[in-house]
A and B are shown apart, each in its own frame.
Chain A
Amino acid sequence: MFGLHYNLERSAIGMVVAIVLVASIGGFIEIAPLFTIDETVEAAPDMRIYTPLEVAGRNIYIREGCYACHSQMIRTLRDEVDRYGPYSLAVESQYDHPMLWGSKRTGPDLARLGNKYSDAWHSAHLDNPRDLVPESKMPAYPWLLRTQLRTDDLANHLAALRTVGVPYTDEMIAYASIDAFGQANPESAQASGVAERYGEATNIRLFDASGQRLTEMDALVAYLQVLGTLTGATAPTQTAEAE
């Protein structure tokens, strides 16, 4: 029964070739499905890309480890759809590098958080969650309101995202820092370019209620307010529910 094996065992080259063949089965099983990715990921031609301020906010979201307690993926289960809205589609994360689907929920899912609460609520809640939700166990992030946002390197972040497939233009990269300021200061001269470059649907507001300076709170709130709102292509459940 083991005749082939006994023979292989006595031939160094034969054994190496056999090991490579067997090990590549696992590789093939993992890699081959990626060739059909065009068939499994939906198309969303209306998908907006993150503005520089939202990219900065996303980086803060990652830095503070928000993903450790909050997922950004609504699963195809009735109770999740009932609570959070239409289940997440793969295409909704197409510009997320890396994706932040998460695998554990200590807090609620955030995939459709955008526009659910006001900017002031997010700002106060991040500053100290227990001011608004007494039973909350979320940590407080008081330094977000105090810390000035670093914007000088945003062009580099955008350029890096472009190399992995996010369609930022040269102009967007050149104006990254200016747009980050303009998006959080609607009265400023820099604000008009943001809507021009990123679309009329972009939120241009005083996210942290202070126009004097650009804080990390501005960026994080700007990011949280677009979650789930970047494309109209959501699962059919939404229309089914609305009927």
Chain B
Amino acid sequence: MELNERDKFTGHMTTGHEWNGIKELNSPVPRVVWLFLGVFATFGIIWTLLMPSWPGVSGYFRGLLGVDHRVAVEQTISEAAAEKAAWLDRIASEDFDAIGADGELMAVVRDTGKALFADNCAACHSAGGTGNAGYPSIAAAPMMWGEDPETIAETIRVGINSTHPETRYAQMLAFGRDGMLGRAEIDAVVAYVETLSDPAIAEAQPEPVATGERLFADNCAGCHGVDAKGMVETGAPDLTDPFWTYGGDRRSIRTSVYGGRQGVMPSWEARFSPAEIKLLALYVLDLREGRQ
């Protein structure tokens, strides 16, 4: 292997490697490659100096710029909070009637409430608040725990049958499964309940209804009320309206009477600020007014 040999045609040195008389030229690295290497290596070094980077024995080098994602996000959030404070403080301090009368503030409630509702409430109550099987319509149906804004806000705060210590609590007993009513009795009470919201059924079958009415007064009226219009004290729904959480056909009503019901609404106190809860209560009321 011969070193330091210059190729006479190109003027470059050879590497000294030779294959059957063909020699490899040691042509220089293109300048553009040097340029890129240089630029990026310099950038890399400068960047590690500016940003948090090198680990040390106790802690790490925090960088000359002092950038910290956690500090940055706290800052953007507090800036946002300051921006929101203009209207959020008013929602927190003013009473529901005053806010409801203020068109400008209600526009903000509609705007913000829509996003909050979609992210948190829509999964059960559906995007328009019309409910799903097992989850009541809050846009149109009478509310089981009361319809004034304070009550709605309280329901959002503590939830229903939730893990919150002050939770609203309601349970419909399993009249069939727990043996409180026999098969024929359940049929009679279901037939009676069906007639409550549908007069057409009432006319068609007057006979077993009398037994059902008596059974209803004995077993159901305590929570649903003698007139079956529901009671906000017990959270029992109105059975005379066309709205049904678990379905209003005979089979669904029978399932409810047989196995009982105990729907759960989670508590939102840990996720929302008091002002946000108030805002959502206003949004729900607004939703109802738009529908009714």
A interface residue numbers (CB < 8 A to B): 32-33, 35-36, 39-40, 76-78, 81-83, 85, 87, 115-121, 124-125, 131-134, 203, 235-237, 240-243
Contacts and interface: CB of A to CB of B under 8 A. Distances in A.
A124 B134 contact: yes
Contact of B264 (A76, A119, A236): A119
Contact of A78 (B80, B133, B135, B271): B80
Interface stretch (B118-126, B168-176, B203-211, B217-225): B118-126
A126 to B, nearest CB: 13
B264 A237 contact: no
Given A33-B55, A118-B266, A120-B263, A133 B73 contact: no
17 contacts: A33-B60, A39-B58, A76-B70, A76-B72, A77-B73, A81-B77, A115-B267, A116-B120, A116-B266, A116-B271, A117-B123, A121-B135, A124-B134, A133-B123, A235-B70, A237-B74, A241-B273
B15 to A, nearest CB: 9
Nearest to B119: A83
A1 B212 CA distance: 103
Contacts of A203: 163
A131 B264 contact: no
Contacts of A237: 73-74, 77
Interface in B78-114: 78, 80-81
Contacts of A242: 273
B60 A36 contact: yes
A132 B124 contact: yes
Given A115-B266, A118-B265, 18 more contacts: A39-B59, A39-B60, A78-B77, A78-B80, A83-B119, A87-B70, A120-B134, A120-B264, A121-B124, A121-B134, A121-B264, A132-B132, A133-B123, A237-B73, A240-B74, A240-B78, A240-B81, A242-B273
Interface of B: 55-56, 58-60, 69-70, 72-74, 76-78, 80-81, 119-120, 122-124, 126, 132-135, 163, 263-267, 270-271, 273
A33 B126 CA distance: 47
B12 to A, nearest CB: 13
- Classify the interface of chain B: helix, strand, loop or mixed: mixed
Contacts of B122: 133
Contacts of B59: 36, 39
Contacts of B78: 240
A171 B102 CA distance: 62
Nearest to B120: A116
Contacts of B77: 78, 81-82, 237, 240-241
A40 B59 CA distance: 8
Contacts of A133: 122-123, 126
Contacts of A121: 123-124, 134-135, 264
The 7 closest A-B pairs by CB, nearest first: A118-B264, A76-B69, A76-B73, A78-B76, A33-B55, A36-B55, A32-B55
Nearest to A242: B273
Nearest to A9: B15
A132 B124 CA distance: 7
A32 B126 CA distance: 50
B120 A131 contact: no
Contacts of B55: 32-33, 35-36
Contacts of B60: 33, 36, 39-40
A162 B135 CA distance: 41
Contacts of A134: 126
B73 A78 contact: yes
Contacts of B266: 115-118
B272 to A, nearest CB: 9
Point out which of B60, B69, B77, B135 has the most chain A C-beta atoms below 10 A from its C-beta: B77
